Amino acid sequence: MKVFIVHAHPERQSLNGALTDIAVDTLTGAGHEVRVSDLYAMRWNPTVAAEDFGPEASSPLDVVHDSGRAYESGALSADIRAEQEKLWWADTVILQFPLWWYTMPAILKGWVDRVFTYGFGYGVGEHNETRYGDRFGEGALQGKRAMLSVTVGGPESHYSDRGINGPIDDLLYPIQHGILYHPGMEVLPPFVLYRTVRMSPEVFADAAEQWKKRLLTLEDTTPVPYRPQNGGDYEIPAARLREGLEGAGRRGFGLHVRG
C-alpha cells in the first residue's frame, strides 16, 4: 500500500503522536510506503484566502470558482498542490486527530478547506437527469480508501446511542461521508479511543495493540457501505433517498448506510 497520514496535534509527544509513530513503524515494517503530513510541524496555514488562487483570483473573491480555475490552470499555491499530489500518490489515507468540540481541530479543517478545491474535492463531473456530479462514491479520489483515527477525551457512554453528545458515528458522518466519501474514497470504520485525558500505561498498551491490528488488516477491512449517489438509490437532482430503501428504524445520517 501507499499510505498517506495527515497528522493534526500540537504536541508531538502526545497520544496522537504515538499513534502516528506506531502507524509509520507498523506499516513500513510490513513493507508499505508511508508519507506523513504533520500539519503542526509544517506550520500549515488553515485559512482559505485569495492568495491560494494565484494572480488570476477574481475580486470580489469567489472561493468556489476561483479555486476551480486555479486548480485547472495549476495556479494553486504550492502548499496546496503538494497535498493534492500526496492524495494522488496514496491508495490509503489516514486522518489522525483529537476530537475537539466534536469535530477535527481547525488546522485539519483548514487542510480540507484549502486542499479539497472545486474540480478536485467537489464540483467534478456532469449534472444531468441521472447524476448530480461525480460525488459520494465517485470523483477524483475514487478507488482510494480512507480511515479516521480519533482520540476522544470523554468516556464512551457520552458518545453512545443515548449519550448526550450523540452517537460517535453521527458525529463523524460529516467527515466520513461529507469529506472522504464525497470525492469518491471508500471509508473504513474509524479507530476511536475514549477517555484519553487520563489513559494509564496499561490501557495505552492495549490500545496500541488494537491499533497495530487495524493497520495490518487495512487491506482486508470492509468499508462502511455508504450508498453511491448515482447508483439509483436517490432521486436526482433532489438527492433524496427513495422511499422504502432504508433498513428498519434507520433515520437521519443512518439512512445513507446500506443494510
Q: Count of CB atoms within 10 A of residue 163's CB?
A: 14
Beta bridge partners of 4: 35, 93
On the question of a cis peptide bond just before residue 60, with omega within 30 degrees of 0, the verdict is yes
Q: Which residue number, 31 or 198, has a Cβ lying nearer to a second copy?
A: 198
One character per residue 139-178, x = contact with a second copy (rule: CB under 8 A): --------------x-x-xx-xxxxxxxx--xx-xx--xx
Confirm if 37 and 17 have CB atoms less than 8 A apart: no
Confirm if 2 and 90 have CB atoms less than 8 A apart: yes
Q: Which residue number, 45 or 203, has a Cβ lying nearer to a second copy?
A: 45
Q: How far is the CB of 123 from a second copy (least distance, A)?
A: 10
Find the part of the chain contacting a second copy (CB under 8 A) among 19-27, 72-80, 208-216, 250-258. 250-258
Q: How far is the CB of 223 from a second copy (least distance, A)?
A: 17
Task: Give yes or no for residue 48 binding a second copy (CB under 8 A).
Answer: yes
Q: Which residue number, 31 or 249, has a Cβ lying nearer to a second copy?
A: 249
Q: Which residue number, 54 or 167, has a Cβ lying nearer to a second copy?
A: 167
Task: Give yes or no for residue 55 binding a second copy (CB under 8 A).
Answer: no
Of 1, 22, 63, 208, the one binding a second copy (CB under 8 A) is: 63
Name the burial class of residue 164, with classes exposed (0-12), middle (13-18) and buried (19+) by CB atoms within 10 angstroms of its CB. Answer: exposed
b/e burial code for range 178-216 (CB count within 10 A of at least 16 → b): ebbbbbbbbbbebbbbbebeeeeeeeeeebbeebbebbe
Pairing relationship of beta strands 234-235 and 240-241 according to DSSP bridges: antiparallel
| Residues 81-120, interacting with a second copy (CB under 8 A) | 100-107, 109-110, 112-113, 116
Task: Give yes or no for residue 40 binding a second copy (CB under 8 A).
Answer: yes
Write out the three cell numbers for 251. 433515520
Task: Give yes or no for residue 77 binding a second copy (CB under 8 A).
Answer: no
Of 10, 225, 232, 247, the one binding a second copy (CB under 8 A) is: 10
| Residues 179-238, interacting with a second copy (CB under 8 A) | 179, 197, 229, 234, 237-238
Name the burial class of residue 219, with classes exposed (0-12), middle (13-18) and buried (19+) by CB atoms within 10 angstroms of its CB. Answer: exposed
Find the part of the chain contacting a second copy (CB under 8 A) among 42-50, 70-78, 138-146, 211-219. 42-50
